[in-house]
A and B are shown apart, each in its own frame.
Chain A
Amino acid sequence: MAQIKLLHAINSALDIAMADDKSTVCFGEDVGHFGGVFRATSGLQEKYGKARCFNTPLVEQGIIGFANGLAAQGSVAIAEIQFADYIFPAFDQIVNEAAKFRYRSGNEFNVGKLTIRSPYGGGIAGGLYHSQSPEAYFAHTPGLKVVIPRNPYQAKGLLLAAIRDDNPVIFFEPKRLYRASIGEVPEEDYQLPLGKAEVVQTGTDITLLAWGAQMEIIEKAAQMASNDGISCEVVDLRTILPWDVETISKSVMKTGRLLISQEAPLTAGFASEIAATIQSECFLHLESPIARVCGLDTPYPLALEKEYVSDHLKVYEAIIKSVNY
């Protein structure tokens, strides 16, 4: 198996999806010949032609509206929104259209063949408009699936599963890891399950839960805590919606403690939803309050990004606090 970057794992998944099904179409701003501003679609136009991989005008609501129609027609539509910060003009097409297409028509029509890819998250000195983590907005919308991978292997397998899943899926890609995360990825076609969390490291004292780029943060904090003799169970949620309550509950019933780390602001972030459900599912097993390590309730900063974002030190401190509660 070759060692490749997360970005190339995405590209490989798209390549396989386009080769596998001739109705697959990839499009978005600068997605065509240029291959996208991050190069995730590099080489696809050359390989599959301009009709199947192309630039769109600068209009996010149009990109997703077009994608909804294309998917409803029966084509496999893979739309790229250049930055998750710019997905909001398409909010109506995602929340009111894609998510409700099947329900409102009684399954006469659906957009199950729609996948929306978008780079999200901080760590690239992107300031408030190139760093956001908007997963919680979409997690509040029945009908959508929301998936976030943590490394190249996960990215390829989850993206292929997202493309072939018969529901509209938003696939947020941790852009800080595009070139920073390198790992072994099979060249062939494979899929990883949606809606399933993964226990990355077993432990007994506390469950650490995150997704995407926050995974390496909590893994690093777990390493620090282990030097203090604290055994952390590290879990990757992988799918934000619908999320794997069972795996998380099982882990928390074992460890008695839960810490959730996310880049997005604290209030009404997805960590809050997890905390509410887990306190209900695991109330009698909890040894300490569920901890949320999150961004502040401010826009994402530029100069003071390090102070703002959840890092391994903040997570480590929260582990100690939880264990000593």
Chain B
Amino acid sequence: MSTELYNDGPVVHQATFIDGSSVEIPELRILDQDGITYPNADLPDIDQALATKIYHSLAFHRVLDERMVASQRQGRLSFYMTALGEEATSVGGAAGLKPQDMIMMQYREQGALIYRGFDLKDLMNQLFSNAGDLGKGRQMPIHYGSKALNCMTVSSPLATQIPQATGYAYGQKLQGTDAVTICYFGEGAASEGDFHAGLNMAAVQEAPVIFFCRNNGYAISTPSDEQFKGNGIASRGVGYNIKTIRIDGNDILAVLKATQIARAYAVKESKPVLIEAMSYRLGAHSTSDDPSGYRTKEEEAKWQSHDPILRMKNWLIKQNWWDEAQETALFEKYREDVLAAVKVAEKVDKPHIDTMITDVYDVPSAQLQAQLDEVKVHVNKYPEAYPFTAGKF
């Protein structure tokens, strides 16, 4: 092996630089904002049933985000993160996969879980960190995860899931299963070392992983032009010799198409793919953030006119698969469902005190047991100071 393997350019005798402009990156768009497909567009594999399922997920996502921000403002919930304006990236990505494919989320992809059928009750239990939470009330709201649905539990440190996705996909390949891993991250997280580690290793080790970048323009307050100077994230895929596609992330059909072809390629060739979905974070970074300090209303208004859910609705209506009456009824039903679920989840007890020491190891050590016993004695001595657990063990 030597550098001759990839040095396939011509030998020249004048010193000239090359730069990113040598590679022109097209952006796939299938659907315009009025819901009309471009005449020569390469449509994804979609029928009315799939379209309806996708739209229901998008609608539910929008309602969930609205209701949960309101709950946070009312002081019922500690924290929340919406995916306003970029719901198509998570829902469309999940729709382009099979149930056995692993989904590794960053933290703004609850749409993928919703599409996979994560129960509303499970969502709420996680958000209220109560005894019913699959994660046992240990992580902040929106850190969902489900083994049954092949959705890896969210982890706050950014980009750590990227090399993990490579390893997960490598294991799927070794075991010869018809399964891939999709890994979501933002354009800000792509500055982390783990991004480069994960992509390079996926290319070298030939792992069937789909890297899905949501380029939504902002990492909290930092705009993408202060994050990198290259041609988005797609240009990096080219550098790692990973099959790469840039798409309009607000075009559900483009997201679906790209994910479908990425999956087919990853399975057939056992190699990675990078999708860069261009979108915009219409909401705040989280309920702890206020975007008015770093961007204009005009900028937001421009992107509001690219609403991915409205775009899909326009298309559905043109297909005669949807109408305004259905729209109103669906949103109303979801609002009622979410509100009812909030009322139930917020009344559920906090996790049992014994869960403090479980899952640190497969079995709690004697030292951990002794530490827990000390806490219990203390709680019993001052019960009024520890209302979540006092009298409950």
Contact = CB atoms under 8 A, between A and B. Distances in A.
Interface in B153-192: 153, 155, 157, 160, 162-172, 174-175, 181
Contacts of A56: 201, 204-205
Given A66-B201, A73-B171, A105 B164 contact: no
A107 interface: yes
Interface in A90-116: 92-93, 96-97, 100, 102-110, 112
B20 interface: no
A7 to B, nearest CB: 26
A65 B157 contact: no
Interface in A51-101: 51-52, 54, 56-57, 59, 61-62, 64-75, 77, 89, 92-93, 96-97, 100
Given A69-B171, A106-B138, A167 B367 contact: no
B200 A65 contact: no
B163 A61 contact: yes
Contact of A69 (B133, B146, B163): B163
Interface residues of A, number: 48
A106 B143 CA distance: 11
Contacts of A25: 171, 174
Contact of B152 (A61, A72, A96, A106): A72
B174 A109 contact: no
B198 A142 contact: no
B153 A105 contact: yes
A105 B136 CA distance: 8
A23 B157 CA distance: 28
Given A103-B360, A104-B143, A112-B362, A66 B164 contact: yes
B157 A97 contact: yes
Query: What size tier do the contact residues of chain B reach?
Result: 35 or more
A245 B366 CA distance: 10
A195 interface: yes
Given A65-B194, A104-B155, A142-B360, A242 B365 contact: yes
Given A62-B197, A108-B145, A52 B174 contact: yes
Contacts of B166: 62, 65-66, 69
Contact of A72 (B168, B193, B205, B358): B168
A65 B138 CA distance: 22
Contacts of B136: 106
Contacts of B174: 23, 25, 51-52, 75
Contact of A104 (B139, B162, B167, B205): B139
Interface string B71-104: 0000000000000000000000000000000100
Contacts of B171: 23, 25, 69-70, 73-75
Nearest to A25: B174
Contacts of A57: 197, 200-201, 204
A102 B359 contact: yes
A109 B164 contact: no
Interface of B: 102, 133-136, 138-139, 143, 145-147, 152-153, 155, 157, 160, 162-172, 174-175, 181, 193-194, 196-198, 200-201, 204-205, 358-362, 365-368
23 contacts: A23-B175, A51-B174, A56-B201, A56-B204, A59-B196, A61-B163, A62-B163, A66-B201, A69-B165, A70-B167, A92-B160, A96-B160, A97-B164, A100-B155, A102-B359, A102-B360, A103-B359, A104-B135, A105-B359, A108-B134, A110-B362, A112-B362, A195-B365
Closest 3 pairs between A and B when the two form their complex, measured CB to CB: A65-B163, A69-B167, A62-B197
